[in-house]
């Protein structure tokens, strides 16, 4: 019995492998003119590939997260670490992970930080606008560690602690989920602590208008008052243009409000210019209330956004800013 490939080649006019494959597929399926269907499928693939790509690119961040986890496990195994996670023995691993993220930020986004001089020498509470992903905060923390040797804790949403394989990474990085007492304790130990009061809701449902979505949250202000530390506003330019969400679709908002899980599709991963701006600290005042401090912090963050972000955000403009050699004075 002659195989399919042999029958294609054996004739007086040998077929190409692609034509032969089409012939065999047509014989196998019994569909006439199958090459027309295949041509249409190739056309659809060509048309839809860019659309598929913008939904796949944000997955690069997931790969970076799990690469960080893998590096920490290798480091732990190599050094046979048995001490607590806050021991200095993890410094080498933190530098390694910071270098990974800082390299990605530099290469993909031309990432910059402006205003390191506004950070207090001692503890302080950094309050930042939450983009669709926390990538800008990670780039900031990595650059902070590399350039100043300072370490910043961060408060994360509860669902982050349920992600598979993330426990070691969260423990080593000192990521907190609250409560307020733990945040106050970290600040009193002299650490910098970062929090995005808008949390997941702001990440998923804010948009290119850069609307601050804090609701009635003022616990962060009470933490700053109890720890007697300044609040430092922080904002990253173009963070909404790098990755966007489909949070404007009502069904996703309704689903989130019911189950409180971030099941909103992301798209983008565009190599837009990212610049993080650290604002002037809001000093501790013993007689200020949490409501007053929240309003003041929100106003200062909004001022940073209005000063450094063109609204509405535009992906093409953010891409073109990669070619600017210097940050324009506002």
Residues involved in catalysis: 130
CB 191, CB 152: distance < 8 Å = yes
Residue 15 DSSP one-character state: P
- Which position has the token pair 């990212």? 274
Distances (CA, A) of 210 to 136, 138, 213, 303, 312: 15, 20, 9, 12, 8
Provide CB contacts within 8 A for 286, sequence distance 6+: 228
CB-hemisphere CA count at 13 Å for 122?
10
CB 230, CB 283: distance < 8 Å = yes
Measured CA to CA, the distance from residue 204 to residue 255 in angstroms comes to 12
Count of other CB atoms within 10 angstroms of residue 220: 25
- Which position has the token pair 């955000």? 313
């Amino acid at each position: 019995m002659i195989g399919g490939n042999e029958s294609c080649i054996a004739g007086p006019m040998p077929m190409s492998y692609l034509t032969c494959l089409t012939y065999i597929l047509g014989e196998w399926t019994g569909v006439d003119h199958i090459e027309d269907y295949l041509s249409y499928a190739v056309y659809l693939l060509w048309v839809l590939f860019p659309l598929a790509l913008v939904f796949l690119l944000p997955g690069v961040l997931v790969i970076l997260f799990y690469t960080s986890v893998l590096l920490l496990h290798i480091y732990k195994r190599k050094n046979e670490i048995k001490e607590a996670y806050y021991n200095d023995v993890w410094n080498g691993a933190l530098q390694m992970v910071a270098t990974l993220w800082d390299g990605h930020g530099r290469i993909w986004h031309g990432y910059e930080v402006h205003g390191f001089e506004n950070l207090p020498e001692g503890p302080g509470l950094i309050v930042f606008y939450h983009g669709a992903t926390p990538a800008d905060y990670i780039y900031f923390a990595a650059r902070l560690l590399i350039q100043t040797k300072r370490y910043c804790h961060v408060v994360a949403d509860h669902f982050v602690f349920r992600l598979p394989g993330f426990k070691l990474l969260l423990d080593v990085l000192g990521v907190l989920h609250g409560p307020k007492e733990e945040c106050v304790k970290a600040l009193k130990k002299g650490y910098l602590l970062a929090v995005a009061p808008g949390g997941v809701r702001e990440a998923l449902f804010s948009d290119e208008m850069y609307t601050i979505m804090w609701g009635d949250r003022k616990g962060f202000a009470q933490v700053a008052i109890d720890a007697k530390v300044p609040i430092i506003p922080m904002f990253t330019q173009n963070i909404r243009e790098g990755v966007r969400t489909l949070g404007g679709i009502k069904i996703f908002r309704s689903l989130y409000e019911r189950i409180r899980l971030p099941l909103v599709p992301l798209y983008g991963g565009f190599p837009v210019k990212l610049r993080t701006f650290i604002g002037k600290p809001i000093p501790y005042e013993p007689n200020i209330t949490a409501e007053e401090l929240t309003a003041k912090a929100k106003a200062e963050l909004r001022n940073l956004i209005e000063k450094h972000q063109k609204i509405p955000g535009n992906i093409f403009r953010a891409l073109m800013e990669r070619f600017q050699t210097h940050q324009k004075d506002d």
